[in-house]
Amino acid sequence: MGIDGGPRTAVVIGAGVVGLSTAWFLQERGVDVTVVDRDGVASGASWGNAGWLSPGLAIPLNEPGILRYGLSSLLNPSAPLHVPTTPDLGLWSFLTRFAMNCTWKSWGRAVKANLPLNEECLEAFDVLTSNGVEAPTVEAPIMAAFENQRQAVGLLHELQRINQSGLEIKYTAFEGDDVGKQAPQLSPRARAGIRLDGQRYIDPGEFTRSLARAVVARGATIRSGFRVTDVRSGVDGHTVLSSEGDSVRADAVVLATGAWLNGLGKEWGVRVPVRAGRGYSFTVPTDEPVPSPIYLPAVRVACTPYQGKLRVAGTMEFRGPDDPLYQRRVDAIIASAQSLLTGVSWEERTDTWVGPRPVTPDGRPLIGATHTPGRFVAGGHGMWGITHGPITGRMLAEQIVTGKQPAALRDFDPTR
């Protein structure tokens, strides 16, 4: 430990954007960091997501409408939200808790809790990109498109509630032929739209790799193929053990393993379960350049400019984090989105991917200290791990080094 009582060394378990951001901001405060990951940098949900930096859409999943939608689509394997028939009692227990939190009261608490993360998330990205992280963030509006005005009502109401919570989101509604003018990829079927200004996007895989390079350049070691089996704590700190017999010792340990957080998390006293809400994505060529992200809320599909093409991402599938890719889910995304999009070469898709997003039942992530001194958790961000990753790392690093919990993290206590 340092002279002031803060840690001098730390091990971060997990090389996704949340773990690497925590490592970077710990380094900023003078901590020597080692990052370990069972697979490698950006091997989980940090690679294939839509890459939106969207405080205007970082809305908790436990909105009451999602419960009605989920129940109506439960038995449809092609629905955007899918829960497979399974004897997994842990999953059904999680879904029961999730359903109990699908109330305006619980949703409103999650919105209020997430407000500091949304307010400061873009600034945290600016700190990184101004100090060695070379991958850019791109400013662009997000255009939400619908077949009709009735479908747009739900998002309009959510945006109004977000604004009432204290976060200002600037948006403009469109209808008729004006919708298609916002992006050449929108088909004539799109007759209603909402443009959210002040948003950004990134190439998530490249950003995460660039963040890793910056962390290494500042003196950290990243160890891939390090499958953690246990963490042993004593008076002289913590020892992180791997299945291969390797070990790393440090004054503090951060668990940032995304949808795999339950494993060590339960042993550390984390009582809020995390389940894998798996998302799919793929890349397709387009006839014309894609000017900005496109959102199709009615079918829950997100589209982003990506390496000169279009990345299409969607679905929420509750399966195991290591389950294989199911082609039927990819086909379902295409079937639901193609009527609203035009000039897209669906047959030429590449980079088909599935990744597990860590979902909590109450819409709030898990960020902070556990009951064991020197052990910390950062995860459970659901679909917004990219958006909230850097600000999570900055706030958690402050708590780790100073020993004081930032007020913004109180509702995210991992032992709640």
Domains plus CATH for the chain? 9-412 (3.50.50.60)
Q: Return the pLDDT at 73.
A: 57
Distances (CA, A) of 296 to 46, 50, 146, 198, 340: 21, 13, 7, 18, 8
pLDDT-flagged residues of the chain (< 50)? 3
Q: What angle do CA 52, 129, 294 make, to 5 degrees?
A: 15
- Residue 381's nearest CA partner among 397, 396, 400, 370 is 396
Integer Cα distance of 378 and 163 in angstroms: 27
Q: Return the pLDDT at 2.
A: 54
Q: Return the pLDDT at 76.
A: 65
CB 265 within 8 A of CB 24: no
Q: Return the pLDDT at 89.
A: 83
Integer Cα distance of 195 and 142 in angstroms: 6
Integer Cα distance of 406 and 388 in angstroms: 16
CB 246 within 8 A of CB 225: no
178 residue type, one letter = D
pTM above 0.85, yes or no: yes
The continuous run of DSSP H or E covering 113 comes out as: helix 104-129
Integer Cα distance of 388 and 63 in angstroms: 19
Distances (CA, A) of 389 to 1, 24, 25, 120: 26, 11, 11, 11
Q: Which residues pair with 196 in a beta bridge?
A: 142, 171
